Each structure stands twice: as C-alpha cells, then as structure tokens.
Chains A and B, each alone.
Chain A
Amino acid sequence: ELKVEQNPLFLSMQEGKNYTIYCNYSTTSDRLYWYRQDPGKSLESLFVLLSNGAVKQEGRLMASLDTKARLSTLHITAAVHDLSATYFCAVDRNGGSQGNLIFGKGTKLSVKP
C-alpha cells in the first residue's frame, strides 16, 4: 500500500525556536511537494523537490529530499506566528509528475508567543 507519513501530526512551538517536520513515503518517486494550508483555505505550493539531495529555502522554511531514504524534511528556523498553518507533503502515486498525488495527513503547526 502506498503511504505518505508525516511526523509529528501536531506541533506547538514557541516563537524563535527551530523544529523539523519529517515526511516518509513508500513509493519510488523522485519528486516531492510541500504545501501549506491555512484554516478553511486551499493549498499553497511551498516547494517542489525534483531530485535526490535537492534543498530549497524560502524565508524561515527549508525543505530537503533524500530519495534513497524516501525522506523529506521541512525545517523551520526561528518560528514566527505567521507560520501557524497545516503543512502537507505529497508524492506522485506513479512516481512521476502526473499529478496523481498522495498526501500525508498534514502537520498542524501552532506558533505561540
């Protein structure tokens, strides 16, 4: 069974702290996506990681991909309240770029002052 597992599912952080969200997947996909979702809103694309060893950074978020370990990480640096949201990772079911994505259950991040 194809699976995408995120850890942790809930994360409460203090502002200014660092933390990492983990995404393990069971397919052979070499492409992984990270999305952000605010309550009641749609999904915003954060990162597309296209190959083994890919690392992308945007502001306080940095994502990396290890296709051999089938693991991606989303690292949060010096968290601020505006980062509070649910973060999803996803891979293509067919291992390519056909858009038939399998999503994890999401990590609900709450950043407190």
Chain B
Amino acid sequence: DTGVSQDPRHKITKRGQNVTFRCDPISEHNRLYWYRQTLGQGPEFLTYFQNEAQLEKSRLLSDRFSAERPKGSFSTLEIQRTEQGDSAMYLCASSLVQGGEAFFGQGTRLTVV
C-alpha cells in the first residue's frame, strides 16, 4: 500500500496521559499535514511540514500539542496531559509542493476517558 499510513488506528487513553501518533506519508511527498476532526465537523488544520521544517504551527490547539518530522519522512503528533475534549479523529495528509492536492490517511481515533 503506497498511501498515507497512520498508526495506531484507535487509541483509548485516560485523562492526563500523554499520547503519540505516527504518520507515514506517500514516499515522494515532501509536505505533511495534521488535521483534527470532531464529530459532525469538517477537518481542522493543525500544522504542516515541508520536509523536516515545520512551517505553520500557530493553529496547534494548545501548548500540549506538538509535532515533529525529524528526518523529513514520517511525522509524530504528541498530545500531553490529554483532556476529554481532545477526543477526536486525528488525520494526517501529504502532498507534493507543487500541485497541492492532499491525500489523507485513515486517521487515528482518540478517545480520552
């Protein structure tokens, strides 16, 4: 499968715990994006990378959220001290610099109990 891959697909965690999600983009794509989607809403942009550089992070929801893409390939999204309001689907997408069409992964569904 050469699409965008996310792991895990589902995560249940207790409030206050830290969680980390992984995204592997399409191999030739140098842009990688993180979105959050809550029930009944469209995806909400969080951050994006071009290669290893994080070019936009002002829309990360709080300082509990952070993302990395250390070698310009896979990326991780970490949420520290999770809250019930963090329960959502976290989507990763990737694209080429030129063209801009973003292809989405299957998402990680987070449930905070």
Chain A interface (Cβ within 8 Å of chain B)?
4, 31, 33, 35, 41-45, 48, 88, 90, 92-93, 96-106
Q: By the criterion CB–CB under 8 Å, are B40 and A103 in contact? A: no
Interface residues on B, range: 20 to 34
Which A-chain residue is minimally distant from B33 (CB atoms)?
A99
Q: Which of B11-19, B61-69, B71-79, B103-111 contacts A (4 or more CB under 8 A)?
A: B103-111
Interface centre among B45, B105, B106, B107 (most CB of A within 10 A): B45
Measured CB to CB, the closest approach of chain B to A65, in angstroms, equals 15
Q: By the criterion CB–CB under 8 Å, are A43 and B43 in contact? A: yes
Q: By the criterion CB–CB under 8 Å, are B101 and A45 in contact? A: yes
Q: Which residues of A contact B55 (CB under 8 A)?
A: 98
Q: Which residues of A contact B43 (CB under 8 A)?
A: 43, 88, 90, 101, 103
Given A42-B106, A99-B93: A105 touches B100 (CB 8 Å cut-off) = no
Closest 4 interchain pairs by CB?
A103-B42, A97-B100, A43-B104, A42-B104
Which A-chain residue is minimally distant from B100 (CB atoms)?
A97
Q: By the criterion CB–CB under 8 Å, are B103 and A45 in contact? A: yes
Q: By the criterion CB–CB under 8 Å, are B45 and A93 in contact? A: yes
B26 lies within 8 A of chain A by Cβ:
no
